[in-house]
């Protein structure tokens, strides 16, 4: 395990148990958006040729919603540095932030509106913001 990102088998097992979709913040936000009468695709690719998924996709309105985890995406308010393997994790988060920026730029270029929310944000307030954007961008 010398080449691994994990410092021990226990750390590896714990990290592999992290969910990539349907996290509590995502589900809470989806419920709040659904309660406002909006329907969406879950964990879908807004751009079929780009291998990146958004947490919620509103195809007709061209809105892609991402619920970013504070640790994984470098939240300025809540991100904490890993205790072990600091360099690896700092580089990993930097790559995630760079990829997020690139994804946003590609979506904007294709006429989409990317919307990003941190996992700690109020899902009801975020849902209201999403609903306003989707309704404003729907085709007439």
Confidence of residue 15 (pLDDT cuts 50, 70, 90): low
From the CB of residue 112, how many other CB atoms can be counted at a distance below 10 Å? 22
Average pLDDT over residues 40-69: 96
Q: What is the mean pLDDT of the chain?
A: 88
Model confidence pLDDT, tens digit, residues 88-112: 888 998 999 999 999 999 999 999 9
Domains located in the chain, CATH noted: 9-137 (3.40.960.10)
Measured CA to CA, the distance from residue 99 to residue 29 in angstroms comes to 23
120 within 8 A of 79, measured Cβ to Cβ: no
Strands 41-44 and 54-58: antiparallel
In Å, how far are 24, 28, 30, 85 from 67, measured between CA atoms?
Answer: 10, 10, 10, 26
pTM of the model: 0.84
Answer whether residue 11 shows pLDDT above 80: no
Residue with tokens 């072990």: 84
Answer whether residue 2 shows pLDDT above 60: no
């Amino acid at each position: 395990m010398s080449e691994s990102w994990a410092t021990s088998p226990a750390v590896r097992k714990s990290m592999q148990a992290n969910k990539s979709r349907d996290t509590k913040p995502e589900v809470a936000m989806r419920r709040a958006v659904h309660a406002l009468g909006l329907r969406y695709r879950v964990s879908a690719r807004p751009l079929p040729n780009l291998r990146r998924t958004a947490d919620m996709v509103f195809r007709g309105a061209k809105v892609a919603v991402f619920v970013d985890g504070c640790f994984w995406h470098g939240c300025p308010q809540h991100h904490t540095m890993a205790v072990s393997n600091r360099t690896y994790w700092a580089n990993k988060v930097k790559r995630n932030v760079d990829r997020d920026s690139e994804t946003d730029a590609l979506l904007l270029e294709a006429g989409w509106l990317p919307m990003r929310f941190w996992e700690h944000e109020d899902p009801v307030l975020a849902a209201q913001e999403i609903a306003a954007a989707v309704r404003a961008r729907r085709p007439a």
